[in-house]
Chains A and B, each alone.
Chain A
Amino acid sequence: MTTIDDFTRPKEFLSPLEKYIGGMIREWAENDVIPYRRKFNEDWKDHNWVEPAMKKLYVDIGLQKAVWPKEVGGWGLGQSDHVGTLMARVFEEVGRADTGIAVASAVTFWPLIMIALKPHINEELCAEFAPMFCDADEPRFAANAMTEPQGGSDIENMGNMGGKTITTTAELDGDEWVINGHKLWPTNTGGVADLFGVICTTKQGSSDEDDFAFIFVPADTEGVTQGEPYKKAGMAADKNSDIWFENVRVPKKYRAWGAGDDAKYFREVINWGSMSSAAFCVGAMMNTYEILKEYCSNKIFRGKPLKENTAVAAVLSDIAKDIEICRIATYQSARTLDRPELYWDKWSHEGVAKSRAVKMHVADKCIEVTNNAASLMGTYGCDRDWDVEKHWRDVKMIQLWMGGKQLCQMETARWFYGCETL
């Protein structure tokens, strides 16, 4: 029988570890998430159902150690030549179960890209922060604090705005950075994260990349306050809230790299964010395929399963076609992160534009796939018991985050068409 594993991906790109790690996560998804995920929606504030699943994934399977170098207790994936496609598989498997958990896991890894991925491994900061994640028997989370009340897109639009709209400031005072500002919406906030990567400016209003600063702030630092989680359409397994930084002092060395390089490697962060978003979507689409296959095989109309009706088969075919194409594109995008020498620097504008293009396409298709699947199922499509509606609600946010669809369009147009004012 055909299964989700029959959707194509370029096999020669895959990591030797991917079968093993992918298999463990598949098992976790089947046992610890899929049977309970319908309860997540009501559990958005307390995470009574979400936390045990997170603990299994982060601590028992050990995902929170994944990218940290081996020398500091991690798995060392940050130094691997296959981290891109391996993470694509991991996020696809987690996303198949729940894209909210997928984003919570990916974001724990997200700010660490600045310091724990080759060729730019900041050994000092790895030694400083790795124990928080690697010597813990409780789940540990990180958050990437970019978005501010006046808007997230312009902050991520480094190509055009160069950080001009960032209002969170970092001032050097002796050996310490003093941070002031207000962020909102980062994944893993609302009391979840242990470590923040904070996007700041050293000179408010400047669009000089040298003034862009990426500074790590442990969540328990004095002057950091987090708000209550927000209620939203979906993604209940991810908590998001306000964070206020009031004269927060951290050691000077907590700035990832310094003038120029922070902005440069932040582009790689964006690039990874786009690839991971696409992988979450592929996972959600594959699960939608599974559910739909069951529904349309078992529901009988005039003596035949629904899938034998040509109008239904046409919809099913479009869904499979989109998954097939999106999966190949996502793994190709991930591969570019593993082979920069063949493609482009991970932090190049080209990399950002191309990964945004893939993310935009896959997220749009994912919305279409889940939307059409729900419509095909009639009243059962909006019934929580079937889970398709959950994916539909959850994945909408993947289109909206990281600057939204329009920023993806502008960055893609800028690179491919040489636009100068977008």
Chain B
Amino acid sequence: METTDMFPYPKEWMSEDDEILASSIREWAEKEVIPNRQEFDEDHNNELIGPAIRKLFVDIGLQKLMWPEKYGGAGLNSPYVSTTIVRALEEVGRADPGIGFIFSGTFSLLAPIAMEPNINEDACTELAPMFCNTKDVRIGSPILPEYGDVDGINAGSIYGRVIKATAKNDGDSVTISGRKLRPLSSGGAANLFGVFCAAKGLERDDIVYVLVPADSEGIRMEEPYKKTGLVSDRNADVWFENVRVPRKYAALQRGGAECFKEVLSWHGLCASAVCIGSMMDVYEIVKEWGNTRTISGKPLKENSVDAAVLAEVANHVAVSRILTWNVARMLAKPDVYGEAWSDKMFTTARAVALHVTSSAVSAIGKAMELMASQGYATEGDVEKHWRDVKTIEVCTGKVPGMMDIARWYYDCKTL
């Protein structure tokens, strides 16, 4: 039986098109990624990763997926896209969580302006062609508020995080400033940033979400920093020095907090799906190892102590998958479960993302326990997944995530 069928997920929520997309991604993974991924760490000139991303984003067309049809996109911009996205990202994550994470940022950044029912026609008209009328890869990079700052900068705060960037009213434009901002992903490769800013003199709210094309004057993207995993995702700190963008790029008709929760709800779903793909790949690898490795005179999996660890691996995958698909369904049915930006949906999506990402670190760590040196060696194909999911987990923000959950479930007022 195929691994994707072994771990339960509610199939009645999926369409035939979703399966078609997933199988074209599987084909892409087998051809473009899996044979090369052990070399990704040393692909300094982007010779392996670049073409693989291009095939997925441009040829298969993921970068158009969520733009409305009338602006040249694939029109999957209703909340129903959630199950499509999860199935697609499971397949991407199975091959390379880093590419999955790039797409997670690119997709969720657009939710506040392109997702029904809040389509911002002005912003879509201007920005969709960047992604839809091109043969080049286009990447989005969300810049979220951080949990604390070394210089104590606190231009504003939102849901227990500090906002370091500001957006100033400048007539027809908005001027963005912010030093050394660390995006969630792709800071060194982005074409479009989605930045949460403290609003200065703007009519709306104290927080505003602004889309900023990366080629705007005054933006400095640092060299990508080296990190544990997700090497495909070139993340870097970004500086904005009086960057002027047209006023219509600011999501002024929506509250900043609302956009923040919407982006994070969707991003949590995407990150969870990527981790499930990664865990499923490791499950297959450790299964093969358990069948063929001999310990104490019998197959490893027939030693009860090892079987118990194998069970933990499978358990993490099974439960995480059910949870993630349920969040996808909840996001698809705002009439039943609340909007993506409601406190309730945001909390559920955070809780599941925290659970699934840390389950992935645990499950893959357990698989490594059984594979010993082979698990630790790059050629064993497991250690990269382990580093990748850990990097995703830290990006989900453990302490602020816990505070999000406590805030909603216990009505905390000061967190």
User: What separation, in Å, do the CA atoms of A397 and B371 have in the docked complex?
Assistant: 11
Report how far A161 CA is from B38 CA in the complex, Å.
35
Q: Give the contacting residue for A382; candidates B146, B383, B395, B402; CB below 8 A.
A: B395
Residue among A147, A371, A375 facing the most chain B CB atoms (10 A cut-off)? A375
What are the residues of chain B within 8 A of A379 when measuring CB–CB?
182, 184, 235, 394-395
Q: How far is the CA of A389 from the CA of B390 in the complex (A)?
A: 9
Are A400 and B150 touching (Cβ within 8 A)?
Answer: no
A298 at the interface (CB under 8 A from B): yes
Residues of B contacting A392 with CB < 8 Å? Answer: 228, 390
Query: 0/1 per residue, A142-164, Cβ < 8 Å to B?
Result: 00000100111110010011000
A104 to chain B, nearest CB (A): 16
Q: How far is the CA of A306 from the CA of B162 in the complex (A)?
A: 12
Q: Would you call B189 an interface residue if the criterion is a C-beta within 8 Å of the partner chain's C-beta atoms?
A: no
* B135 touches A (CB below 8 Å): no
**Known contacts A160-B296, A393-B387, A400-B373; A367 and B393 CB within 8 A of each other:** no
Interface residues of A in 228-273 (CB under 8 A from B): 230-235, 240
Across the two chains, which residue of chain B brings its CB closest to A422? B296
A73 adjacent to chain B (CB < 8 Å): no
Contact of B295 among A151, A185, A234, A303 (CB under 8 A): A151
What distance in Å separates the Cβ of A190 from its nearest Cβ neighbour in chain B?
Answer: 13
Cβ contacts under 8 Å, B227 to chain A? 382-384, 389
The yes or no answer to A315 lying at the interface (CB within 8 A) is: yes
- A233 near B376 (CB under 8 angstroms)? yes
List the A side residues contacting B372 at CB < 8 Å.
152-153, 400-401, 404
Proximity string of chain A (191-234) to chain B, C-beta cutoff 8 Å, 1 when within and 0 when not? 00000000000000000000000000000000000000011111
CA of A233 to CA of B231, assembled, Å: 13
Q: Let me know if A376 is at the binding interface, CB within 8 A.
A: yes
- Contact of A344 with B by CB under 8 A: no
Cβ of B294 under 8 Å from chain A: yes
Are A299 and B395 touching (Cβ within 8 A)? no
Chain A residues with CB under 8 Å of B399's CB are 309, 311-312, 315, 376
For residues 368 through 390 of chain B, which have their beta carbon under 8 Å from a beta carbon of chain A? 368-370, 372-373, 375-379, 383, 386-387, 390
A405 at the interface (CB under 8 A from B): yes
Q: Is the CB of B373 within 8 A of A378?
A: no
Asked whether B97 is an interface residue with its Cβ less than 8 Å from the other chain, the reply is no
How far is the CB of B40 from the nearest CB of chain A, in Å? 12
Cβ of B306 within 8 Å of any chain A Cβ, yes or no, is: yes
0/1 interface trace, chain B 107-132, chain A, CB 8 Å (1 if under): 00000000000000000000000000
User: Once the chains bind, are B395 and A378 in contact (CB under 8 Å)?
Assistant: yes
- A360–B296 alpha-carbon span in the complex (Å): 20
Cα distance, A161 to B296, chains bound together (Å): 7
B154-179 with Cβ < 8 A to chain A: 154, 157, 162
* Interface 1/0 per residue, B14-34 and A, CB below 8 Å: 000000000000000000000
Q: Say whether B149 faces chain A, with CB atoms less than 8 Å apart.
A: yes
B184 A301 Cβ-Cβ under 8 A: no
Q: Is the CB of B305 within 8 A of A410?
A: yes
Given known pairs A300-B149, A379-B394, the reply for A384 and B365 (CB within 8 Å) is: no
On whether the beta carbons of B379 and A406 are closer than 8 Å, the reply is no
Q: Which of A376-404 contact B (CB under 8 A)?
A: 376-385, 389, 392-393, 396-397, 399-401, 404
Known contacts: A233-B383, A315-B399. The answer to whether A406 contacts B148 by CB under 8 A is no
Interface size on B, residues (CB 8 A): 55
**Interface residue? B391 (CB, 8 A):** yes
Please state if A311 and B403 are interface contacts (CB–CB under 8 Å).
yes
Partner of B377, one of A150, A231, A371: A231
Contact partners of B226 in chain A: CB under 8 A: 38, 41, 383-385
- The answer to whether the Cβ of A11 comes within 8 Å of any Cβ in the partner chain is no
Q: Which of B148, B150, B235, B309 has the most CB of A within 10 A?
A: B148
Closest-CB distance, A331 to chain B (whole angstroms): 27
Given that A374-B390, A375-B398 are known contacts, is A298 also in contact with B379, CB under 8 Å in the complex?
no
Q: Are B225 and A378 in contact (CB under 8 A)?
A: no
Cα–Cα, bound, A101→B218 (Å)? 44
Among A384, A396, A410, residue most surrounded by chain B Cβ atoms (within 10 Å): A396
Residues in A with CB closer than 8 Å to B391 are: 382
Within 8 A of B (CB), among A160-183: 160-161
Q: Is A409 an interface residue (CB 8 A)?
A: yes
Check A406–B306 contact: CB distance below 8 A: yes
Q: Which residues of chain B are near A422, meaning CB under 8 Å?
A: 296
Contact residue among A240, A299, A311 (Cβ-Cβ distance under 8 Å from B149): A299
Within the complex, the shortest CB–CB distance from B265 to chain A, in Å, comes to 19
Q: Which residues of A contact B394 (CB under 8 A)?
A: 374-375, 377-379, 381-382
Residue from A306, A367, A379, A393 having most chain B Cβ neighbours under 10 A = A379
A185 near B373 (CB under 8 angstroms)?
Answer: yes
Residues in A with CB closer than 8 Å to B358 are: 375
Chain A residue numbers with a CB within 8 Å of B230 are 382
Q: Are B373 and A147 in contact (CB under 8 A)?
A: yes
Is the beta-carbon distance between B150 and A302 smaller than 8 angstroms? no
Which A residues lie within 8 Å of B383 (CB)?
232-233
8 Å CB contact of B369 from A232, A371, A382, A405 = A405
Of all chain B residues, which has the CB nearest A378? B397
A311 & B377 in contact (Cβ 8 Å cutoff): no
B146–A150 CB distance below 8 A:
no
B290 CB within 8 Å of chain A: no
Tell yes or no: B361 within 8 A of A by CB: yes
The 9 lowest CB-CB distance pairs between A and B, nearest first, are A301-B148, A300-B152, A233-B383, A384-B226, A382-B228, A299-B148, A231-B378, A389-B228, A381-B394
Known: A233-B387, A382-B229. 19 other contacts (CB 8 A): A153-B295, A161-B296, A231-B379, A233-B377, A233-B386, A235-B376, A240-B373, A299-B150, A300-B149, A300-B152, A301-B148, A312-B399, A315-B399, A379-B182, A380-B182, A382-B395, A384-B225, A400-B372, A406-B370
Report which A residues bind B (CB closer than 8 A): 38, 41, 147, 150-154, 157, 160-161, 184-185, 230-235, 240, 298-303, 306, 309, 311-312, 315, 367, 371, 374-385, 389, 392-393, 396-397, 399-401, 404-406, 409-410, 422
24 A-B pairs with C-beta separation under 8 A: A185-B373, A230-B379, A233-B377, A233-B386, A299-B149, A300-B151, A301-B147, A306-B147, A315-B399, A374-B228, A378-B146, A379-B184, A382-B229, A382-B394, A382-B395, A383-B227, A384-B227, A385-B226, A396-B376, A396-B386, A397-B376, A406-B305, A406-B309, A409-B305
